[in-house]
Amino acid sequence: MYTFFFLCYYVLFICEAYKILVVYPMPAISHKILGDGIVRPLLKSGHEVTYITPYEYKDPPSKLRQIDVSSNSKLIPPDITINLHQILNGEMTPADRMDLVDIMRAIAVETLENRNVQNLLKDPKEQFDVVIVEWMHVSLMSGQWVEGRYGVLTYRLTQMLTGHGAFGHYLFRVARREVTTVCHQCGDADDTALHTLAACPVFAEPRAELVSALGGVDVAELSAKKRVIVILYFSLAALFGCPLIWMSPVETHSGIISLIDAAPNPAYSTDSLSKTLPPFTFNQRVAELWRRITERFEDYVYFDDLEELEYYRLIVPHILTRGRLPSAYEDVRYNISLVLSISRVPLGLGSLPQKYKPLGGYFINEEVAPLSEELKLIMDSNKNGVIYFSMGTNLDTKDLPGNIKIGLLKVFGDLKQTVLWKMEEDLPNLPANVHIMKWAPQMSILSHPNCILFISHGGLLSLIEAIHTTIPVIGIPVYGDQFVNIKRAVTEGYALEVDLSHSLAEDLKVAIQKMLHDIRYMKRIKEISLIFHDRPMKAADELVYWVEHVVRTRGAPHLRSPALLVPLYQRLYLDLVALVAFAVGLFVRLLRRICFRKKKDVKKKNQ
């Protein structure tokens, strides 16, 4: 009898199953690993998950609903594929940030336009407790509906210099000779925004698009129903009226940190696109500051308006259908419940906001898949150890020039160790100790006790797996965050860096010999792995905890940083500077007047 009542209590009061929407639309295997790493523990905890992904489970569990967006793969242009041969010959460079962000934006738009996703958005019966979205340098799916929790929000851009980022927006729009969202003929902030949107002739074209999206409803009539600004920029979380959690696939990045707290100081902080690590020289500090300024400029000038229009077109009509009016973009954009990151806490990293939770290793499946009999025999047979060489899923070592591949085979063939090389083609004249694998079970290989060295491109997932399994690394970074990842690993003492160059084979030979004969690297990776594993709970369990915490606390408003409420002019003390400048100017003016009068008096006396 007591057992029966206990079970009833457990079912009714403890087992809370939430409905969770997980959006991982990037068509790349590494991103699939991250998305699956979220879905797996959530399902294990009993939650119902709707998963928007290009890679569907073949046999999905009963509580998993999948929405296929595999059509996103067509948006990856062939010319952006990283070809190692062309990079070595100077015929191509990895795509710059603007190209990548433009692709990410296109993927976000394609995802929202997907017929299956649109069916989900259109159905007013579809409701979720929380939305988890992969952050891809765009905010197209950001924000949440918060009216009632923080009060009716106002459009901060209508109040010059009073909102987070408003000063920057104002300056950029003036620089582009655009009319701001402030109509100075009106006094009240809400009235100003509504008047500008509904009546100001400068906004005739976007207003016509808005009327069309609203099915012919006049903007002025709509605004009269409720004093809330209809803006073009809103999100999935806003549509479903629930909190939003960003999942960051990179180390700490100023772009996402600035959405939840004050932007990190570039004088002593790095992000995933940095080329160097602190402490910086003068030139490095200037370069880091300039890079961040140009990134913000690119976002303001090139991407914000495009994203606004897409939200306006794809999201706002569905919000209105559900009987809600969206709040302002500038307010919604910074109203994120939490950021969960793939990153771990590197040694010496600066302080992180309360809303930023590093969950390095959450994607690692504790149940390591067994090796095939053939591969197990290969790894078991060499007592000198096994070296694993892989450049990840997005880089093909088959594209290396023929002379470099021959040189690598010679270097590997001279080793006592067995070498497992993830390669997309078969090579002739293989040494007996070298084995080519077109696909490699990476975690299973790294987890084998005979694996002693990992030669990698420096992807964050690979480095975390190396730390998890205590394997030192030789990094050959090629693009993106790989450079700063490897530099951080070298600084922490468990890795060496080798440049991708025509002398790759010779440089790699030196690095391998140094790594094999210096026990400090193995000792250091064991120390870092101990720190990595010494945590109150496993990373996957912590992920589930924070997701549930956000739902239970209705968006975790207690974690909100006060920095978001401090205008830029106050954070930079521009008002104090203005006051001091005014006081100094007034003092100088009075001093000059006194001195001038004294001179006059002296002249009169002399006369």
544-564 pLDDT tens trace: 999 999 999 989 989 988 887
HEC per residue, 462-485: HHHHHHHHCCCEEECCCCCCHHHH
Same domain, 76 and 173: no
Cβ pair 25, 135 in contact under 8 A = no
What local confidence, expressed as pLDDT, does residue 278 receive?
86
Name the residue with tokens 């958005």.
121
Nearest of 273, 292, 289 to residue 281 by alpha carbon: 289
Cβ pair 336, 246 in contact under 8 A = yes
Query: Residue-wise over 385-408: b if at least 16 C-beta within 10 A, else e?
Result: bbbbbbbbbbbbbebbeeebbebb
Before 441, cis peptide (omega within 30)? no
Same domain, 393 and 488: yes
Quick one: which H or E segment has residue 173? helix 166-175
CA pair distance 354, 260, nearest whole angstrom: 9
Name the residue with tokens 């019966």.
125
pLDDT over 60 (residue 495) = yes
- 240-297: pLDDT as tens digits: 778 889 999 888 888 888 888 888 888 888 877 787 888 889 999 999 999 888 887 7
Same domain, 515 and 579: no
- 346-380: pLDDT as tens digits: 655 567 899 999 999 999 998 899 999 999 999 99
Domain of residue 598, residue span: 573-606
pLDDT over 50 (residue 106) = yes
Same domain, 180 and 103: no
CA pair distance 183, 83, nearest whole angstrom: 51
Same domain, 409 and 308: no
189, part of any domain: yes
- 40-98: pLDDT as tens digits: 999 999 999 999 999 999 889 999 999 999 998 888 766 556 778 777 776 656 656 66
Q: Which residues contact 260 (CB under 8 A, 6 or more apart)?
A: 334, 336, 339, 353, 355, 356, 561, 564
In the chain, the amino acid numbered 534 is: D
What local confidence, expressed as pLDDT, does residue 199 receive?
58
CA pair distance 90, 509, nearest whole angstrom: 24
Say whether 65 sits in a helix, a strand or coil: strand
Q: Which two tokens stand for residue 366?
A: 């504790």
Same domain, 444 and 299: no
pLDDT over 80 (residue 14) = no
What local confidence, expressed as pLDDT, does residue 513 receive?
97
Count of other CB atoms within 10 angstroms of residue 88: 17
pTM: 0.78
CA pair distance 148, 215, nearest whole angstrom: 28
Weakest mean pLDDT among 179-188, 373-382, 414-423, 431-440: 179-188
CA pair distance 230, 354, nearest whole angstrom: 31
What local confidence, expressed as pLDDT, does residue 551 receive?
94
- Band (pLDDT 50/70/90 cuts) for residue 207 is low
Count of other CB atoms within 10 angstroms of residue 316: 22
Same domain, 145 and 168: no
Same domain, 114 and 253: yes
Same domain, 242 and 193: no
What local confidence, expressed as pLDDT, does residue 91 receive?
63
In the chain, the amino acid numbered 440 is: A
Q: Which two tokens stand for residue 72?
A: 């996103």
Same domain, 188 and 238: no
Which parts of 289-408 are beta strand (E)?
Answer: 338-341, 356-358, 386-390
What local confidence, expressed as pLDDT, does residue 210 receive?
52
Give residue 224's Cα distance to chain centre. 38
What local confidence, expressed as pLDDT, does residue 511 receive?
98
In the chain, the amino acid numbered 269 is: S
Cβ pair 130, 20 in contact under 8 A = yes
Q: Which residues contact 267 (CB under 8 A, 6 or more apart)?
A: 280, 285, 288, 289
Nearest of 165, 195, 134, 181 to residue 331 by alpha carbon: 165
More confident residue, 61 or 225: 61
CA pair distance 246, 558, nearest whole angstrom: 17
Residue 411 sits in a domain whose CATH number is 3.40.50.2000
Can you tell me the mean pLDDT for 95-117?
78
Same domain, 146 and 62: yes
- Band (pLDDT 50/70/90 cuts) for residue 603 is low
CA pair distance 130, 552, nearest whole angstrom: 10
- 135-158: pLDDT as tens digits: 877 665 554 433 333 333 333 333
131, part of any domain: yes
594, part of any domain: yes
Weakest mean pLDDT among 172-186, 211-225, 446-460: 172-186
Say whether 558 sits in a helix, a strand or coil: helix
248, part of any domain: yes
What's phi and psi for 308, nearest 5 deg?
A: -55, -50
366, part of any domain: no
- The secondary structure of the chain in percent helix, strand, coil, rounded to multiples of 5, reads 50, 10, 40
Q: How many domains does the chain have?
A: 4
549, part of any domain: no
Say whether 560 sits in a helix, a strand or coil: coil
Mean pLDDT of the chain: 79
pLDDT over 90 (residue 20) = yes
What local confidence, expressed as pLDDT, does residue 414 receive?
96
Q: Which two tokens stand for residue 452?
A: 């002693």
143, part of any domain: yes
HSE (CB half, 13 Å, CA atoms) of 597? 5
Cβ pair 338, 358 in contact under 8 A = no
What local confidence, expressed as pLDDT, does residue 53 receive?
95
Can you tell me the mean pLDDT for 168-191?
38
In the chain, the amino acid numbered 502 is: H
Nearest of 176, 87, 197 to residue 477 by alpha carbon: 87
CA pair distance 67, 128, nearest whole angstrom: 15
Weakest mean pLDDT among 50-59, 252-261, 459-468, 508-517: 252-261
Say whether 212 sits in a helix, a strand or coil: helix
pLDDT over 80 (residue 230) = no
417, part of any domain: yes
Same domain, 68 and 168: no
Residue 127 sits in a domain whose CATH number is 3.40.50
